[in-house]
Amino acid sequence: MKLEIIIEVKSGAVSEKTVRGKDGRDYLIREQGGWVDLGKPYPQEVRISLDRGQEGYAAGEYLMDQSCLYVDRYGKLSLGRLKLIPLNAKLKL
């Protein structure tokens, strides 16, 4: 069984902010908003972290790439940085 989580990106806008870490260095945080339907009454907003230089996702529907999931050192299922696959790309597979 494959897990399919669909995330909708409504805008290609990317927000950037710089924060100072405990080590005194500045870090650039790049994020984009999306929405995920987890079966609750309303979709929930999620923040999608982007790497430096990575383009934002265009508006549309995406599948969460299963490579985001991993088993941590304690044997618990964990979620890493979100990677998205355009939903229409799945139809071509």
**Domain boundary assignment for the chain:** 6-92
* Summary mean pLDDT of the chain: 89
Instruction: Name the residue type at position 46.
Output: V
Instruction: Name the residue type at position 44.
Output: Q
CB-CB neighbours of 9 under 10 Å: 21
Domain 6-92 annotated CATH 2.40.50.140: yes
71, β-bridge pairs: 77
Q: Is the per-residue pLDDT at 92 higher than 60?
A: no
Listed residue (19, 88, 72) closest to 49, CA to CA: 19
Q: Does the pTM exceed 0.85?
A: no
